[in-house]
Chain A
Amino acid sequence: MAMVREPNSNSRNARVPRGVRVKGRGGVKTYDIIVIGAGHNGLTAAAYLARAGLDVVVLERNPYIGGATVSRELHPGFTYSNCSYVSSLMRPEIMRELELSKYGLQIIPYEGGVTMTRDGGYLASYNDHDMNRREIARHSARDAEAYDRFAIETARQCRFIKPYLMQTPPDPASFKWRDLKGMMDLGRAFYDLGEEAMYDTLRFWTMSCTDFLDQYFETEVVKAHKAGSSIIGTALGPSSPGSAYVLLHHYMGEVDGNIGAWGFARGGMGAISSALAQAFQAAGGEIRTDAGVAQVMVKGGKAVGVALEDGTEVRGRRVVSNMDVKRTFLKTVDPKDLPEDFLRQVRNFKIRGSSGKLNIALDGLPDFPSIPKDCPARQGDLHITDSIETMERAYDDWKDGMWSREPYLDMMIPTQLDPTMAPPGKHYMSVFVQYVPPKLADGPWTPEKRDAFGQTVIDAIAEYSPNFKDLILHVEVRTPKELEDEVGLTEGNIFQGELTLDQLMFNRPIPGYAQYRSPIRGLYMCGSSCHPGGGVMGAPGANAAREILLDVGGWR
């Protein structure tokens, strides 16, 4: 692959053959690119840049890589997916181009899911169309057929959005050719949707999930089963306007072309970051762990490197931040280097944390008497919230500065399919919890409060699984505080910023700065704060890399 050179790089360096270390002034090495944070987007960007021939270093604060795409062994023999726990949105283009399969990445799709009801019943979902229809028909024959309409209208919207995931959002206020063309393409794709779908698009992007589902379904449990996707990671209730989009966000992924399917990364979500890291290193990239960045160094309005927490400086021609937009610009950049307008908008960026997570090592498979033993949907996501009203009440607790007393849970037991995460016969259970506030009404989080939150969740599960408590060997409890302190996500927001229309597309993260550049020359953003947002997509990282390469090549 041709080496991409900077147009302005000094001619002395330009003649040095590849592989020879080039020292900058004062004998300090200057990298082409410094990436702050070894999350999946930082590694994706780094891998693309290194493959383009650039000299790239990734600096990671923790002793391990992965960010929120991480797998750690906290109890002997058990591997957790400590934060993110399932994969669908990871763009297949990235897996293919970076050859992640070669580096051991395997996504195992799972089948459907189950919502258990208070009265001891259940509603399952299956990938097979007719199985699914008949399952819903057990609850309502009308809803069973409404599901077809729901599915096709959702799929239309996913088709509309999909091409934009791997594109830099066009800037509507710009008169550059690529932005004008981008806006025209967007308008054309919108027009091509046809009349009804055009109306639907606006509804989808602005409506509440409750209102949206009410257009199709009459049965509480059917609605509750669908609505879960609209609140995961979101500081909105199912009845808050804008929550319908979050539902769509969780539907637009795929596993091997099956739109909307989800899967486990074999070996835990850390397998994704591990494969990305190997692809990066195979292209000559360097990863430094235990290398937290204290500050981005700026000289004459241009980023020139970073200062680490231990005081050492790393020099680079360009700096790319995988951290969220608030952490990047409010904690790592000197405010003097930023325009006031920009800073104000960063401060106002919505990134409220709302989720917690329990990772549990189990001595055996917990029994859920509501679900038949041989039902394959047991291998999927399990829920115990059977009405939207319960979800809304759970959200009310969050608003009051308290974790939900009856939380919405997204439970998975990946070891039913993945043999690598626990010893044979034993199981790992991932429990995602909505809602958990970043700040409690009665003062800061303490270890006692964290454990009390964990107990609330365990008690809630035990109501549906009599043998669950007896099987527990180890529990990791994570509140938004742990997600902020350990992973670095501001307020513990899993998407690095909320997925509401005001913060999407060319408005994400900040209007006028949606093309991965910042007000500081040579400082870029590549995290989920950027378009198209969170969910372990890799798209922000890949899109950012493309923009950086345009700048490096002098094409823009």
Chain B
Amino acid sequence: MTAAPYKQPLLETPLHARTAPLCLTGDWAHWAGYLTVNSYRTVEQEYFAIRNAATLFDLSPMRKYRIAGPDAERYLNRLLTRDVGKLKPGRVGYAVWCDDQGKVLDDGTVFRFGPEEFHVYSQERHLNWFLDSALGFDVTVTDVSEDIAAIALQGPQSFSVLQALGLTGCAALKPFDMAEFTIDGLAVTLSRTGFTGDLGYEIWTESTHAVALWDRLMAAGADHGILAVGSAALDLARIEAGFPVANVDFIAAEQALRATRRRSPLELGLGWMVDFEKGHFNGRRALLAERGRAAGYRLVGLDVAGNKPARDALIYHGRDTVAGFVTSAMWSPTCKRNIALATLKRPFETGNQALWAEIYVKKEGKWEKVVAPCRIVERPFFNPPRRRATPPLAY
């Protein structure tokens, strides 16, 4: 159906007809081969809409896989580090999957629709890995990425928008719950999930319904300051939420040329997602061995002094010992702190040592070095009570 790649280097998402006219800045990004919006007008305005009002984000380029069959649960338990058996139908779980060395291939979300039906959504492409892993299991793995469009409705007023649409039933949804709804005759799956660390939902529907769904959400959100937001604003929100991104904060194991760049879930601070009791899974043996000893690296949250974002900064212990490096950094307007995600080497990951970020700042054409003390802090950096309140608050 689509043109040859040389004719159309980038695909349009099912929402392109709506997002394109709103993108006044021409600030487009490339995401998994799709043309997506980086910012519509100003990143600042979009960021604050995420933290103050309600926002729509075109999530359609996410990779979506349907996994169904009598062995679906057994298969996913073999594939993922979590115990999928504990995930009840109507629930969503955050998950990672590893190679045989226990290094993370990617992270994503698992939706359980029924006893024998799951969807797995992720940033990177994994059809090949998923199909190979299915050998010997009675399951079908289907790439449904093109069939399903998705809109993230995020922000403190997102529940009010759903109420304005008449979706009163969604009040009972707890974080990581999902349910089927109909919005003006459009069948959707609504999950209370998101990438902003705030109150928010993701709405999944057939690609052909995407534009109609977008229009209804926009209309219902008119009195709630609804705004379309691009990847730039979302990235700020996700750093505040403390979520690492594959190939930004860690390298997907399959893509790493240097073996030392690969990270285990334990090193990423995702040890809580590894269930050693559930039986065998990919990477279990390596992770069991790793569990016994201190991790070589750890992904941590940092609070950096001053107000200069520590982008790409090296972290030092003392004058010349490199303790690690920053992978994501920002001045957080909501926390009023200078925050960063960083990978620290052993033994500096414990937070007992004095750490410094070496930040380079260009001031009117001249580079200046800022050496800012920093300390390890809990993630998420921003964790408002409204994220968890059920029924959700109006704003």
Q: Are A417 and B53 in contact (CB under 8 A)?
A: yes
- Complex interface bits, B196-226 against A, C-beta within 8 A gives 1, otherwise 0: 0000000000000000000000000001110
A89-109 contacts to B, CB under 8 A, are 92, 95-96, 100-101, 105-109
- List the B side residues contacting A7 at CB < 8 Å: none
Q: Which of B42, B52, B157, B225 makes the CB contact (< 8 A) with A127? A: B42
B335 at the interface (CB under 8 A from A): yes
Q: How far is the CB of A239 from chain B (nearest CB, A)?
A: 35
- Across the interface, A419 reaches (CB within 8 A) one of B42, B52, B164, namely B52
Q: For window 335-389 of chain B, which residues contact chain A by CB distance below 8 Å? A: 335-337, 382
Chain B 246-272 interface mask (CB, 8 Å, partner A; 1/0): 000000000000000000000000000
In residues 132-174 of chain A, which contact B (Cβ within 8 Å)? none
Residue numbers in A under 8 Å from B394 (CB-CB): 419
Most B-side CB within 10 Å, residue of A100, A416, A418 = A418
Residues of A contacting B225 with CB < 8 Å?
416-417, 419
Please give the distance in Å from A448's CB to the nearest CB on chain B: 38
Residue of A nearest to B156 (CB): A419
B333 contacts the other chain (CB 8 A) = yes
Minimum Cβ distance to chain A for residue B356 (Å): 19
B52 touches which of A92, A100, A418 (Cβ 8 Å): A418
Could you say which of B13-21, B43-51, B57-65, B174-182 contacts chain A?
B43-51
B337 touches A128 (CB 8 A): no
Residue A257 at the chain B interface, CB threshold 8 Å: yes
Verify if A335 is at the interface (C-beta below 8 Å from B): no
Give Cα A111–Cα B44 distance, bound, in whole angstroms.
Answer: 10
Size class of A's contact patch? 20 to 34
B45-A425 in contact (CB<8A): no
**A256 interface residue (CB < 8 Å to B):** yes
29 A-B interface contacts by CB (under 8 A): A92-B336, A96-B336, A96-B337, A101-B336, A101-B337, A105-B336, A106-B52, A106-B334, A107-B333, A108-B48, A108-B52, A109-B44, A109-B48, A127-B42, A256-B331, A257-B307, A376-B41, A417-B53, A417-B225, A418-B52, A419-B52, A419-B53, A419-B156, A419-B157, A419-B160, A419-B225, A420-B395, A424-B160, A424-B224
Q: Kindly supply a per-residue 1/0 record for chain B positions 298-314, scoring 1 wherever the CB is within 8 Å of any chain A CB and 0 otherwise.
A: 00000000010000000
Chain A, 382-426, CB within 8 A of any chain B CB: 416-420, 424-425
* A127→B331 CA distance, assembly (Å): 19
Whether the pair A111, B156 counts as a contact (CB closer than 8 A) is: no
A128 surroundings in chain B (CB, below 8 A): 42
Interface residues in chain A, defined as those with a beta carbon under 8 Å from any beta carbon in chain B: 92, 95-96, 100-101, 105-109, 111, 127-128, 255-258, 266, 376, 416-420, 424-425
Chain A contacts of B156 at CB under 8 A? Answer: 419
The smallest beta-carbon distance between B253 and chain A, in angstroms, is 36
In the complex, what residue of chain A is closest to B337 when comparing beta carbons? A96
Inter-chain contacts of B164 with A (CB < 8 A): 424
Within 8 A of A (CB), among B157-187: 157, 160, 164
User: Bound state CA distance, A475 and B204, in angstroms?
Assistant: 45
Q: Is the pair B52, A424 in contact by a Cβ cutoff of 8 Å?
A: no
Q: How far is the CA of A408 from the CA of B394 in the complex (A)?
A: 36
Taken together as a complex, chains A and B put the C-alpha atoms of A96 and B331 apart, in Å, by 12
Q: Chain B interface: which size bin?
A: 20 to 34
B195 to chain A, nearest CB (A): 20
Cα A101 to Cα B160 with chains together (Å): 23
Chain B: residues with CB nearer than 8 A to chain A?
A: 41-42, 44-45, 48, 51-53, 156-157, 160, 164, 223-225, 307, 331, 333-337, 382, 394-395
Nearest B residue (CB) for A96: B336
CA distance A416 to B226 in the complex (A): 11
* Shortest distance from the beta carbon of B287 to any chain A beta carbon, whole Å: 35
Complex alpha-carbon distance, A376 and B160, angstroms:
23
Determine whether the beta carbon of B223 is less than 8 Å from that of A257: no
Which of the listed residues B45, B156, B337 has the most CB atoms from chain A within 10 Å of its own CB?
A: B45
How far is B337's CA from A370's CA once the two chains are assembled, in angstroms? 40
In the complex, the 10 A-B pairs of residues with the closest C-beta atoms, listed nearest first? A424-B223, A419-B395, A256-B333, A95-B336, A425-B223, A96-B336, A101-B335, A101-B336, A108-B52, A108-B48
Q: Which residues of A contact B382 (CB under 8 A)?
A: 101
Q: Which residue of B lies closest to A94 (CB)?
A: B336
Q: Which chain B positions have C-beta within 8 A of A419? A: 52-53, 156-157, 160, 224-225, 394-395
Chain B residue with Cβ nearest A425 = B223
Contacts of A95 in B (CB 8 A): 336
CA distance A416 to B156 in the complex (A): 15
Residues of B within 8 A of A425 (CB): 223
How far apart sit A128 and B39, CA to CA, in the bound complex (Å)?
14
Alpha-carbon separation in the docked complex, A344 to B42 (Å): 53
Closest CB-CB distance, B67 to chain A, in whole Å? 39
Candidates B42, B53, B307; contact of A92 at CB < 8 Å: B307
A371 and B392 CA atoms in complex are apart in Å by: 36
Q: Which residue of B lies closest to A95 (CB)?
A: B336
Q: Which residue of B lies closest to A254 (CB)?
A: B307
Complexed CA–CA distance, A266 and B164 (Å): 22
Q: Is the CB–CB distance between A106 and B51 below 8 Å?
A: yes
Closest to A111 in B: B45
A176 vs B156: C-alpha distance when bound (angstroms) = 53
Cβ of A108: which chain B residues have Cβ within 8 Å of it? Answer: 48, 52
Provide the bound-state CA to CA distance between A417 and B156, in Å: 12
Beyond A127-B42, A376-B45: 14 further Cβ-contacts under 8 Å?
Answer: A92-B307, A96-B336, A96-B337, A101-B335, A101-B336, A105-B336, A106-B52, A108-B48, A127-B44, A128-B42, A376-B41, A417-B48, A419-B156, A419-B224
Minimal beta-carbon separation of B310 from chain A (angstroms): 14
Closest to A100 in B: B336
Interface pair A417/B336, CB less than 8 Å apart? no
C-alpha gap A370/B36 in the complex (Å) = 35
Contact assessment for B335 and A417 in the assembled complex, using a CB-CB cutoff below 8 Å: no
Of all chain A residues, the one with the shortest Cβ separation from B381 is: A101
The distance in angstroms between the C-alpha atoms of A111 and B41, with both chains bound, is 12
What is the CB-to-nearest-CB distance from A252 to chain B, in angstroms, rounded to a whole number?
16
Best-surrounded residue of A96, A376, A424 (most CB of chain B within 10 A):
A424
Q: Identify which of B52, B157, B224 gathers the most chain A CB atoms within 10 Å of its CB.
A: B52
Shortest CB–CB separation between residue A263 and chain B, in angstroms? 9
B52 near A266: Cβ-Cβ < 8 Å: yes
Chain B CB within 10 A, most for which of A107, A258, A419: A419
A107–B307 CA distance with the chains assembled, in angstroms? 17
Q: Which residue of B lies closest to A127 (CB)?
A: B42
Q: Across the interface, which residues of B come within 8 angstroms of A100, CB to CB?
A: 336
Cα distance, A128 to B42, chains bound together (Å): 9
Q: Tell me the complex Cα distance, A110–B41, Å.
A: 14
Name which residue of chain A comes closest to B44, CB basis.
Answer: A109
